[in-house]
Structure 1
Amino acid sequence: MQSAGSTDPNYAPSEHPAAGPEKGTRAGGRPVSGKTPSAGPGAGQDADKVWQVNRTTPVLKNTVTDPDKDTATLTFEVWTTNADGTPKAKLKLTGKNDDPDDGVVSDAHGVIVSKYVASGSTAEVTIPYGNLKTNTTYAFRTSAYDGSLYETDWSPWAKFHTRGRQLSITLPEPDNNAPAVDLDKYQTEVTASRKLPPPPPVRSADGGADGLKCSDRDGKGNKVCMGTVSDAEVPKAAEKRLRAEADLVPWCAGKSAGDAYFTRTEACIKDRGVTVLRFVYYDANDQELGVAWIAQALQIKLDTKSKTIKHELTMVPTKYVESEPGALGNISFQMVDSCEAEGAPGRCKNDEEVWSPEIGSGNVWTPAAGDYHSAKVSMTTTWTPGTETAQNYIDLDWELWGHTSKSTKIGKSSLGSTEGDLSIRCDAVSSTTPGCVFPAYKPTWVMNFKKAPAAVAHAWLIQTKLPNHPGSKSAGKPMQYLPESGTAGWVPQDSRDVICPKNPDKSSWAGKYGNPDTTTLPEFTTSNKDPKSCDEFAYASTYNSAGMPDRFGGLNPVASGDECLQTYATRYKAGVWKLYDDTRHAAPTYKELCGRSSMSSWMNSASMAGFSSGFSSKQRLLDKDEYWVAFPEFAHCGTADKLTCTVPKP
């Protein structure tokens, strides 16, 4: 008799009665295995008749026939192979399947036995996880048993090849004491588009010089004309002084004239270039008496914990031209600002403007005396929540009025409004404490890699490799926030239940179906308990979650988490972790719409620490607000289909 690990395949099936002992002999009554055993699922057989299996838990099949029409079972043996494909050594199969119908392992004989099937039917078994290696060729055969008699021989051999691993991300040990991520440094300013008055024609209808808008004539026939020149060059000295005055929004000092920029709570507006004030007398020669060029910058400061909006205009003269000394007289400016709360008149109010001079007399300049002092006008707008709504969109509008002591008339020039990207939203929804933000700005969330490397790796993988790229700034696919209170008829937990469903006994999906090699971290918990956890990406608290149906606005709906790309996190050796694709399933196609990973519950939770308190509430995210998710540690990893990467970069 040969042993279960025999290297000699020529022993009789009845020598190892895995399905039970024979109960007698009956001529012609022995069951028979089919002649064409198969393995799957996968791509079928290759040119060498090797079944290509897309997992390491293959389903092995063969037909069985009993001449007495009894039901019968098949015993399956699996062998390693030599280089030439011939059987080498019998595997001692271990473990068990979740479902007994997938076959029962006989530990004594190292084989797996199918359930009983009708004569002429196909019997099948699933090889439990952990018995087979990836990217390896095996051979198997079957022998029939009808409850009384064994088949006297074995079926023909069939060979199969398991799939290779497609994903191996090498990671460090999680750091339980890692500090919180400094999210502020990732909230970098971006350019803003806003509503501006149309550029004036070359000569305006009322006769203004160079298209500037002019006042009526005064008693002497003179006019004051004003306008802005967006593309006017600002001298370096004036630009330097303009930057130095940017104290409301400190980073505005680093921005050159010509554009507008903003973050979630700050704006730096330098897209109006230069304001031109011309004092002219229109006689037959269109005589110009004087002109002043004033560089300017607007800044806005919001507060996520206040209903007060601060804004400030800085003005720096760059050049004066006078037909004769003193022709302009003293020039002065007045800021006229207004606000409008959409759909709620009277919900915003502007306080009186306050000018602060650097030298001289604030908003009054004397060109003849070479007066080039800088000046600022500070403004404050206050929003008042109403009973009709707990949020309002607010737009500010600015108009600059110019005067000269030589005339009683006033020139006017629009500096535009915040309408567009710089529209302000104030609310008392995300918090009972009112606050205001620029909702068009998409803030950036960064997960804590040092604390939870495998969870961050999983999110990065799904964002980078899947076609919907949830949260990717480079792909232009922001996350859409879904509050815990949800939208009408759907809450984040509903999405979690689709991707990571509870079992009928209320136990977790990961506890029963998560990869057996998942590593947990009970030493990181006060209870010394850390069950396996199901981590999904995109987050359940987004419309991007594949668990959210399209009827509620879901962007990437699937019927089940089984449709997701499957991974797990394991400690490979002391100090080294791996995020692997789960070879119990088909290899990733990278056409999936979601990711589902089995990992430590502690790590899953730690990866999102600070999201609610330090991000969503701080940024005052409301329903469908958009934000980015960044993974700075993974920039070097690339996008290969067979992805191998070490993070941090060695």
Structure 2
Amino acid sequence: MRRIRTLSAVRHVAAGAVLALLAGVGTASAAGFTPSPTPSAPPASRPAAGPEDATAAGSRPVSGKNPSAGPQFKKSGSTWRVITPETILSNTVTDADGDKSTLTFEVWTTDANGKPKTQVKLTDANPYGVLVSGYVASGKPASVPVPYGKLKPGVTYTFHTNAFDGSLYETTWSPWANFRIEPYVKFPAPQASSTIDPVAQKIIEFTRTDPGPALPTLRKDGTTLKAPTQKRTCGKPDAQGHKLCVELNPPSKKARNALRASAPLGPGVDLVDWCYDKPSGKDYMSRTEACMKTIGSGTLIFTDTDPNKPALGTATFNIEQRIKTYPKKGDSGSNFAEFDQQIMLVPTHIDPVLKGVRMKWNVGSTCKSCVTSNIRWADDQNNPAGGDAYWPIEMDGRYGGRWGTIQTTWSGTGKEIIDLGWSITATVDAGGNPATANFGTSGDVRVRELAPRCDDILKGVAPGCVLPFFKPTYTVDTNLYPAAGAYYWLMQEKMPDHAGSVKWDSLLHYLGPDTTATRPDGKPWTSDDSRDKVCPSSWAAHRADASVGTMDCDEYAMASTHESGGFPGGVNQVSSGDQCAQLFTDKLGDGSANFGLLADTRTATNGPAWKERCGRAGIESTQNRKAFNKLNPAIWRLLDNDGFFVSNPGFEHCAYADTTCAWRKVG
């Protein structure tokens, strides 16, 4: 046991009073900062924790050998990775006599080799610029919070500690511990201009769920999920015993790889102008158009009464279909919401014995409020081709295509999803009864990938139609709004449901005017209601460098979605925005012109656990307000619960968010 010192209690009280003053509790300030001349200066020469009693007997307290920095007190190699400039420095302290002790924390910048370079002033409360912890029991950790503004994001620092028990200082410093304040994402100021189009869409490939009994149902990778159940269908024999059959076959590998004929189409022939040059064997679509190229070829087989004899003649046609919807009336030239359909029939061979071939296109619909036109047939140059698709026998064997187009106008109210079905009925002049081939429908009722939806719900916008199976992607202009894009990307990577991420195939769902969610007063729930839950008026921005500008509260997922933390009954619902991951923007201090996204630890002192269901961040006001302002529901006719993605192209090159992701310019 150490011998009792007669003045120890007095000194302990006195040291406590001095410590309170040095920690900034009092109103007085110490004299000007005097940097330590050397990193190895004896602790007693800089007695920030109180004066030493060199005559005191007993053991000196000792700092731990493993100083740490946080939050979240995790290392990358030999360096502590800190997520906020309001760093917590910590170390254990031991006193052999069992006395309580304090720790003094001294921080230095580092040179290129990670060695101490220049002492950092952490406080004005003492002339040494160091922070002193409160007294802790022997063997326990002592910690100090570094006030905001003393340490800079993006900079590597090192620190060490020394212990003081109220009478004696430790004779040496603890080992050095390096730490770096690393942002989750870093980015520059907004660029002056950008070529990113936030609402531009890419054509996607899709797989039909109901291609009919004559064609295989395919998986996304092109392999067969379900084989055809009836490849060939036949009409009844005629009085002479002649029978006509039709057989469908998906495009062969040769057909898939074949280039289109060089002869150009006439203007306006193809209903979907980008479809003609797409490879066969796949189906393609956008929010407003579909291009079906998996129907392949149809073969007409004309036989006599003896099935063992060769066919009397055959004819083969390449077959494709199109759908085009118009997001608002007037786009089509009519005064109604409208969608059009088209079939392309191109003969590749017709035996003269058939004398002539006629094709009838059958289009079915479940629409309750539609008017459908007669089919308009045209040739490859868009010249009228009569009331049906007919090919007389040509002696040179050269046959042109026929394009049948049908218009459907919708005059209903509310919204209606319209199921469609298609087939062709063939006849030949040589005899036999008609034979019909079924192309299937607009899709299984659980999917309806080709079913148009028409509505008049969007206020201030004319009625229109779209293909809602296609999920659009809103592209944040990360050149103009890098802080907002960084935040959205980080939340998509870190949130448990990855809401809105293309990479994770996780949709956001729009909060539309036709929502059934209501407020307590019975009125429809709005995005303002969701926003007020996550970003109430009581929210205050975290301190930041003046170059950041004014920060707004920005929530993710957006208040205009069902995934918002404020949406009632949603998968991410919270009772308060305090339950969201808290972040803010700050300037980096690494000599660059960059900014970073860091943890706001005012509410959750250890920073985000990344189990949070939402995000709340301080984002520069202009970026917060403009990054998402081109999401115009009318462009895609977004109604309630419609799915969409959000892309953040300046950050999507980063494979994951476990290390700092650095912005890249796009375009």
Q: TM-score, normalised by structure 2?
A: 0.71
Distance 1:484 1:364 in 2: 48
In structure 1, what is the equivalent of residue 182 of structure 2? 166
In structure 2, what is the equivalent of residue 314 of structure 1? 344
| Contact 2:243/2:432, CA 8 A, preserved across alignment | no
In structure 1, what is the equivalent of residue 157 of structure 2? 136
The 5 Å alignment of 1:59-138 reads 78=106, 92-94=121-123, 106=125, 126-132=145-151, 135-138=156-159
In structure 2, what is the equivalent of residue 537 of structure 1? 556
Distance 1:421 1:290, change over 3 A: same
1:255 lines up with 2:278 in the alignment: yes
Distance 2:83 2:514 in 1: 41
Distance 1:485 1:329 in 2: 57
In structure 2, what is the equivalent of residue 288 of structure 1? 311
Question: Could you tell me how far 1:586 is from its partner in structure 2?
Answer: 4.5
Name the SS for the 1:463 alignment partner. helix
1:234-290 CA deviation, whole Å, 9 max, x = no partner? 495876669888621111012122222111100111211112222222136445322
| Contact 2:43/2:162, CA 8 A, preserved across alignment | no
1:190 lines up with 2:210 in the alignment: no
Gaps of at least 5 residues in structure 2 are: 1-29, 94-99, 217-229, 330-336, 519-524
In structure 2, what is the equivalent of residue 430 of structure 1? 458
Amino acid at match of 1:126: P
Q: CA RMSD in A?
A: 5.1
Distance 1:578 1:198, change over 3 A: same
Name the SS for the 1:261 alignment partner. strand
Amino acid at match of 1:378: T
In structure 2, what is the equivalent of residue 397 of structure 1? 421
Question: Could you tell me how far 1:372 is from its partner in structure 2?
Answer: 0.8
Residue in structure 2 matching 1:629, options 618, 633, 646:
646
| Contact 2:203/2:286, CA 8 A, preserved across alignment | yes
1:639 lines up with 2:634 in the alignment: no
Residue in structure 1 matching 2:624, options 604, 613, 628:
604
Distance 1:542 1:519, change over 3 A: farther
Distance 2:433 2:495 in 1: 64
In structure 1, what is the equivalent of residue 399 of structure 2? 372
Name the SS for the 1:271 alignment partner. strand
Distance 1:421 1:75 in 2: 67
Residue in structure 1 matching 2:635, options 618, 626, 632:
618
Distance 1:43 1:211 in 2: 64
Which segment is superposed worse, 444-453 or 580-589? 580-589
| Contact 1:471/1:477, CA 8 A, preserved across alignment | yes
Distance 1:58 1:629 in 2: 35
1:222 lines up with 2:242 in the alignment: yes
Amino acid at match of 2:149: G
Distance 1:578 1:168, change over 3 A: farther
Name the SS for the 2:181 alignment partner. coil
Question: Could you tell me how far 1:472 is from its partner in structure 2?
Answer: 2.3
Distance 1:368 1:223, change over 3 A: farther
Distance 1:14 1:482 in 2: 61
Name the SS for the 1:474 alignment partner. coil
| Contact 1:353/1:379, CA 8 A, preserved across alignment | yes
Distance 1:51 1:642 in 2: 13
Distance 2:404 2:179 in 1: 69
Name the SS for the 1:272 alignment partner. strand
| Identical amino acids, percent of aligned pairs | 25
Distance 2:83 2:186 in 1: 23
Distance 1:595 1:250 in 2: 42
1:343-366 CA deviation, whole Å, 9 max, x = no partner? xxx223322111123477662111
Distance 1:215 1:507 in 2: 76
Question: Could you tell me how far 1:445 is from its partner in structure 2?
Answer: 0.9
Distance 1:158 1:52 in 2: 20
Question: Could you tell me how far 1:422 is from its partner in structure 2?
Answer: 1.0
Residue in structure 2 matching 1:406, options 413, 424, 430:
430
Q: How many residues align?
A: 578
Question: Could you tell me how far 1:377 is from its partner in structure 2?
Answer: 1.0
| Contact 1:246/1:252, CA 8 A, preserved across alignment | no
Distance 1:116 1:16 in 2: 10
| Contact 1:238/1:316, CA 8 A, preserved across alignment | no
In structure 2, what is the equivalent of residue 524 of structure 1? none
Question: Could you tell me how far 1:537 is from its partner in structure 2?
Answer: 3.2
Amino acid at match of 2:551: K
Name the SS for the 2:276 alignment partner. helix
| Contact 1:484/1:492, CA 8 A, preserved across alignment | no
Amino acid at match of 1:164: R
Distance 1:36 1:115, change over 3 A: closer
Question: Could you tell me how far 1:220 is from its partner in structure 2?
Answer: 2.1
Name the SS for the 2:422 alignment partner. strand
In structure 2, what is the equivalent of residue 516 of structure 1? 544
Amino acid at match of 2:240: K
The 5 Å alignment of 1:480-559 reads 480-483=509-512, 488-489=517-518, 491-498=526-533, 500-502=534-536, 506-509=537-540, 511=541, 514-517=542-545, 519-521=547-549, 531-545=550-564, 547-548=565-566, 552-555=569-572
| Contact 1:241/1:316, CA 8 A, preserved across alignment | no
Q: TM-score, normalised by structure 1?
A: 0.72
In structure 2, what is the equivalent of residue 479 of structure 1? 508
Distance 1:135 1:574 in 2: 12
| Contact 1:183/1:446, CA 8 A, preserved across alignment | yes
